[in-house]
Structure 1
């Protein structure tokens, strides 16, 4: 099973402004089937609080910052995302929560599957059972 990891993206420096990018499985370990973003999160709120059976994600802070808490059922790790030239790869079967959003933060998420409500694991006990 793959593990969550920070992935550095190409960074093209230019005095007119920098540029970073990713292209499907050239920089991230899957083909992109879905893209969505999270924004305008009120102070103190969190997103996530679930895992997926098949969905893998790559999460980038395009603007501002936020924390992604990743839980494998035994250990939790917190990743602070605050730059647009790296992101967090989250494999399937990892519980995730996103919190501590700064003002005007923008989270971009790409995933390897199209949206399917049946792919969500919303119950932590069920998640622990599937991890075994």
Structure 2
């Protein structure tokens, strides 16, 4: 059974200089899964809520590429809120965890690295079905 305790912050490799910082990850070295899809959301209204689903098989690594927001994790028994505001630190969300994103700052950008391509069949979109599974 999936547990919110298995969702961890992962710090990306970082190279800094007087020209700025570069954060990076590589599937075989610092990411706990092979990356098959990368997407981002932006122009998010501050009062919006995103997510509202769980995945059956897919892993995700979620970053605040810009700005900040909260991720509410739920395993059906416990809930935990994680605040993301550092583009060098991502939240690894394992399969079987319900997630909701909220409390977006102005100009937030949510960057997600996923372990699979988009498959609608991998989504659990009904919370009642999620907790009764």
TM-score (norm 1): 0.94
Aligned partner of residue 39 in structure 2, secondary structure: strand
Q: In structure 2, which of residues 115, 123, 128 is the aligned counterpart of residue 125 of structure 1?
A: 128
Deviation at 1:25, TM superposition (A): 3.4
Could you say which residue in structure 1 is the equivalent of 2:60? 57
Deviation at 1:12, TM superposition (A): 1.3
Which 4+ residue blocks in structure 1 deviate beyond 2 angstroms?
Answer: none
Could you say which residue in structure 1 is the equivalent of 2:84? 81
**CA separation of 1:34 and 1:65: change in aligned 2, threshold 3 A:** same
Structure 2 unaligned regions, length at least 5: none
Distance 2:127 2:15 in 1: 41
RMSD (Å) for aligned C-alpha atoms: 1.2
Aligned partner of residue 13 in structure 1, secondary structure: strand
Q: In structure 1, which of residues 29, 37, 41 is the aligned counterpart of residue 32 of structure 2?
A: 29
Aligned partner of residue 118 in structure 1, secondary structure: helix
Q: In structure 2, which of residues 43, 46, 68 is the aligned counterpart of residue 43 of structure 1?
A: 46
Deviation at 1:118, TM superposition (A): 1.1
Distance 1:40 1:25 in 2: 32
Distance 1:40 1:96 in 2: 20
Could you say which residue in structure 2 is the equivalent of 1:20? 23
**CA separation of 1:25 and 1:128: change in aligned 2, threshold 3 A:** farther
TM-score (norm 2): 0.93
Q: How many residues align?
A: 130
Could you say which residue in structure 2 is the equivalent of 1:67? 70
